[in-house]
Structure 1
Amino acid sequence: MNEPDTTRILSRDSLAGTEDDSPAADDRDRPEEKPATTRTGRRQPWCPVTVEPVMFLSMFSLILQGPLSTQYLFDRMSQEVGFNRSRTSECGGNGSLPPDPLQKEVEALAAHWNLYINLTGFAVGMLMVPLLGSWSDFAGRRVILIIPSVGMALQAAVYLLVMYLELPVVYFLIGRIFSGLSGDFSAVLAGCFSYVADISDTRTLTFRVAILEACLGVSGMLASIIGGQWKQAQGYIKPYWLVLATNLASALYVYLFLRETVPSDPTAKFPAFRHYKTVWRLLSTGGTTAGEEGRHFHRIKLWLYLLCFFVVLTVHSGSVSLFVLYELSSPLCWGSTLIGFGSAALHVGYLSSLLGLKLMQRCLADSWVALIGLLSNIAGLVVVSISHNTQLMFTGYGLNFLFMTTSPVIRSKLSKLVDASQQGALFAAVACVESLCFLVGTSLYNALYPATLHFMKGFPFLFGALLQLIPAGIIGVLECLDPRTDH
């Protein structure tokens, strides 16, 4: 059963001295959920399942189409340069035959097109996500869940046209622009996490965020298995019809079943420059829960946690964007089935991270849970960087079994730093950082991969493991400096 959001609001407002501290005031707000709205306009959900299906469906479509589009680009580039992907030369049983000299050219072309497509979508999305996230404080959460679902459906429709008509791959850019203008998947994340922040209290927030991220893992695992098998059996086009249908189903679910937590303000206009100002005001002040003496320290903590979040998500998004290319070519030479199982193994880490988070929270503060997650990710990336056979690659995936305990802890700590009335602006800022993570991660890794093929194919993964030492140091220092822990 969800905790009443009035508990969270009153507890935070009492810190700022803005609410009545009398027992009568506590009795009015504690025992029942009859009031549909609170002082900040939040409304209690009528069902314990709220935005989880939206997260599940959106992530399912994203993971289903990711490997498909990368493999499609690889095949199209192979056709253009005359590369034979029969794999008889590069993946023979004894491995004595050298790989086709055109293989590296195809890999570089596919990586560069991945870079161009992702740059287009994420650059547009980065401008739209903070607007949509902050606007949701006035227009409601449902609107920023419907708009990106429709935008991603339009992207899938454009991709289907390219595949049916065999149009030049440059038309993929049009689909990414449609998705970027709607806020893309980052807007879905901002809406879902803001919604959960509306209906959770400080005790349950971290675990509810982890549940949302577990939904990412379950949907990603299913999409990876289905996508690999389906592509091998029937090609690219039919799985993409499921991508289109899934995004439309997500928008329909929000429209029909999801109750709003923020009453709509009819005077709220979009786009409006004030939404950018709201986000910047939050970042410049550090949140309203801190008094004047602690405001500076809160602002520093807010920026440091955002930096940690940026590094963690940049490494994750960049690594994921390369896994398929890394697995397609020698020495691994995986086909669609193994690629699907590999992606599924990666996403099992979301579920194992949820279980690990729940168990470790019983004896460890959240910061130490996040550090353990970073160590898990570092170990996994190091093993992946030196993988030369299937067994070693799956070992790297296995070592990543706690890698998703870090991001929910950081999201929760950021949410607890600011007032309940600022959650929309906060997650707009987080969504902006997340868009930047995807932009920088995919750009950096897709540029780094072809540049380092000649001396170490797995260097980008090793580079990501080294970068993870930055958030590990920051989180550890902040936990040691702050005597008040979450445990």
Structure 2
Amino acid sequence: VGILCSWPAAPASNPAAPAVSSSLLLPHGPLPSSLSQELETLVAHWNLYLNLAGFLVGLFSVTLLGPWSDSAGRRPALAIASLGMALQAAIFLAVMSLRLPVAWLLLGRILAGLSGDYNLILAASFAYTADVSDRRGRTFRVAVLEACLGLAGMGASLLGGQWRHAQGYAAPFWLAFSASLAAALYAAVCMRESVAPRQPTRLLTLRHYASVLRLYAPGARGWEWRKLLLYSLAFFLVVSVHFGASDLLVLYELSTPLCWGSELIGYGSAAHYLAYLSSLLGLRLLQNCLEDGWVAEAGLLSNVLGLGAIALASTTPLMFTGYGLLFLSMTVTPVIRSKLSRLVDEKEQGALFAAVACVEGLCSLVATGVFNSLYPASLSFMKGFPFLFGAVLLLVPAAIIGWIEIQDSKPDYSHFADMPGPLQEAEQ
């Protein structure tokens, strides 16, 4: 968004170039309302194009490279994805330096998508974590990895804005370019491989896509297959609510009756990201007395209470109370990832987390469409309705996880779920 809002004027001879110019920058004076609305619409459209380009291309590359890493190893997958991210950052820097048309950004997104993009980094990282952990300790290790994502987001939110004001838009992208290259070099040279023994396998083959489809195809796994589908549905709903609510928080804080300034918004963002650390500590403590499924239920309760308080927040203390109630909100997704990982074979971790990464990318698109449509539609009767809607929606994954835990706690009877019925026996 920052790049697009500060875009220089494109040559008039290029009809494909968008009409975003440096004359729209704030240093040149206040924006007329018509131009401001036109700029916001243009930025929103180009963000949609970029997101769709990355997601649609990445959908095919992640489901190819993720299963491929089950045989070829996690290191090559991580190195390829990191190089793709570095190439995207390089193209963005070239566009800013050479003042190329905005459409060149699509090339960067497509190239990053072909290399797996951020989703492949997530898929390979979580698969690596599953490779090097036992079944009991896997949930906490996955939570540590998600806490790292939260810390990175906190650092970016606190430093990114100040850095951009001090040195412009290019400097943060130089950091992204350098960090991506460093990650690729580390994955290729220093990181210890978790897949042993590695087997040479073809990359461009339909077998990799078939391995992802087999995970969700009905087969002989019975109850395990049903749990895979139910946990995937719960994951989709939880992540969609998380993305959708996060997209609206700053807009909600800026408007009446809160009317927060930049300082309070910074504090709110920090409080939001602190939930990653408090959830990690809470997960560690609760695992001493509860099964993972019930820890996830506690996290969902934290989510529901926090979103409910935010939906009704009319004062700053109540808003921060909502943030405080979210202290266990990030315990849910590590538990679900770990549960999913235990349902498949050790040689299918890459395929599984590639599918989960695609679901996560789909969650972002669905959440943006649903929650950003609900917010303006609900302003006339309840500004916080999208948060309340998210809290109610979380009751579905709570019911799913609770029901599975109850079924799994009946070892003397749960095996009957996979037995054939009388009609099936007669047919046999």
User: TM-score per shorter chain, which class?
Assistant: 0.7 to 0.9
Instruction: Name which of 179, 190, 198 aligns with 1:264.
Output: 198
Aligned length in residues = 399
1:193 Cα offset (Å): 1.1
Deviation digits for residues 140-176 of structure 1, max 9, x if unmatched? Answer: 1111111111112222223333434555544433322
Deviation digits for residues 264-292 of structure 1, max 9, x if unmatched? Answer: 322x1122110111111122256xxxxx5
Query: Which SS does the other structure have where 2:357 is aligned?
Result: helix
Compared with structure 1, are the counterparts of its residues 230 and 218 closer, same or farther at alpha carbon in structure 2 (3 Å cutoff)?
same
Structure with the larger RCO, 1 or 2 (CA within 8 Å, 6+ apart): 1
1:455 Cα offset (Å): 5.7
1:195 Cα offset (Å): 0.8
Write the distance in 2 (CA, Å) between the matches of 1:424 and 1:256: 21
> Match of 1:226, as an amino acid?
L
Query: Which residue of structure 2 aligns with residue 130 of structure 1?
Result: 63
Confirm or deny that 1:185 pairs with 2:134: no
Compared with structure 1, are the counterparts of its residues 235 and 375 closer, same or farther at alpha carbon in structure 2 (3 Å cutoff)?
farther
User: Residues 115 and 442 of structure 1 are in contact (CA less than 8 Å); yes or no, is this contact kept in structure 2?
Assistant: no
Compared with structure 1, are the counterparts of its residues 164 and 458 closer, same or farther at alpha carbon in structure 2 (3 Å cutoff)?
farther
Instruction: Name which of 361, 365, 370 aligns with 1:435.
Output: 361
Which moved further from structure 2: 215-224 or 190-199?
Answer: 215-224
Confirm or deny that 1:222 pairs with 2:155: yes
1:194 Cα offset (Å): 0.8
Identity %: 58
Query: Which residue of structure 2 aligns with residue 141 of structure 1?
Result: 74
Compared with structure 1, are the counterparts of its residues 376 and 431 closer, same or farther at alpha carbon in structure 2 (3 Å cutoff)?
same
Query: Which SS does the other structure have where 1:201 is aligned?
Result: coil
1:338 Cα offset (Å): 5.0
Query: Which residue of structure 1 aligns with residue 130 of structure 2?
Result: 197
Confirm or deny that 1:313 pairs with 2:239: yes
Deviation digits for residues 216-256 of structure 1, max 9, x if unmatched? Answer: 12222222211132223333221222122121121121122
Instruction: Name which of 295, 313, 322 aligns with 1:369.
Output: 295
Compared with structure 1, are the counterparts of its residues 274 and 305 closer, same or farther at alpha carbon in structure 2 (3 Å cutoff)?
same
What is the 5 A alignment of 1:230-241? 230-241=163-174
Query: Which residue of structure 2 aligns with residue 462 of structure 1?
Result: 388
Which moved further from structure 2: 430-439 or 126-135?
Answer: 430-439
Write the distance in 1 (CA, Å) between the matches of 2:392 and 2:72: 42
What is the 5 A alignment of 1:56-455? 69=1, 71-73=2-4, 110-262=43-195, 263-266=197-200, 268-285=201-218, 295-327=221-253, 339-387=265-313, 391-449=317-375
1:362 Cα offset (Å): 1.2
Deviation digits for residues 377-406 of structure 1, max 9, x if unmatched? Answer: 223333334555655444433322211100
Write the distance in 1 (CA, Å) between the matches of 2:36 and 2:124: 42
User: Residues 114 and 446 of structure 1 are in contact (CA less than 8 Å); yes or no, is this contact kept in structure 2?
Assistant: no
Write the distance in 2 (CA, Å) between the matches of 1:161 and 1:303: 44
Which moved further from structure 2: 224-233 or 197-206?
Answer: 224-233
What is the 5 A alignment of 1:37-48? none
User: Residues 5 and 25 of structure 2 are in contact (CA less than 8 Å); yes or no, is this contact kept in structure 1?
Assistant: no
User: Residues 20 and 39 of structure 2 are in contact (CA less than 8 Å); yes or no, is this contact kept in structure 1?
Assistant: no
> Match of 2:215, as an amino acid?
L
> Match of 1:161, as an amino acid?
A
User: Residues 67 and 348 of structure 2 are in contact (CA less than 8 Å); yes or no, is this contact kept in structure 1?
Assistant: no
Compared with structure 1, are the counterparts of its residues 385 and 128 closer, same or farther at alpha carbon in structure 2 (3 Å cutoff)?
farther
Q: CA RMSD in A?
A: 3.4
Write the distance in 2 (CA, Å) between the matches of 1:246 and 1:328: 33
Deviation digits for residues 159-213 of structure 1, max 9, x if unmatched? Answer: 3334345555444333222222221111111101111111111111111111111
> Match of 2:190, as an amino acid?
F
Compared with structure 1, are the counterparts of its residues 154 and 84 closer, same or farther at alpha carbon in structure 2 (3 Å cutoff)?
closer
Q: TM-score if structure 2 supplies the norm length?
A: 0.81
Write the distance in 2 (CA, Å) between the matches of 1:78 and 1:401: 44
User: Residues 304 and 391 of structure 2 are in contact (CA less than 8 Å); yes or no, is this contact kept in structure 1?
Assistant: yes
Query: Which residue of structure 1 aligns with residue 423 of structure 2?
Result: none
Write the distance in 2 (CA, Å) between the matches of 1:342 and 1:109: 28
> Match of 1:240, as an amino acid?
F
Query: Which residue of structure 2 aligns with residue 28 of structure 1?
Result: none
Query: Which SS does the other structure have where 1:142 is aligned?
Result: helix
> Match of 2:161, as an amino acid?
G
User: Residues 229 and 336 of structure 1 are in contact (CA less than 8 Å); yes or no, is this contact kept in structure 2?
Assistant: no
Query: Which SS does the other structure have where 2:74 is aligned?
Result: coil
Write the distance in 2 (CA, Å) between the matches of 1:458 and 1:82: 36
User: Residues 133 and 191 of structure 1 are in contact (CA less than 8 Å); yes or no, is this contact kept in structure 2?
Assistant: yes
Q: TM-score if structure 1 supplies the norm length?
A: 0.72
Write the distance in 2 (CA, Å) between the matches of 1:430 and 1:151: 20
1:324 Cα offset (Å): 4.4
Compared with structure 1, are the counterparts of its residues 424 and 285 closer, same or farther at alpha carbon in structure 2 (3 Å cutoff)?
farther
1:436 Cα offset (Å): 2.1
1:410 Cα offset (Å): 0.6
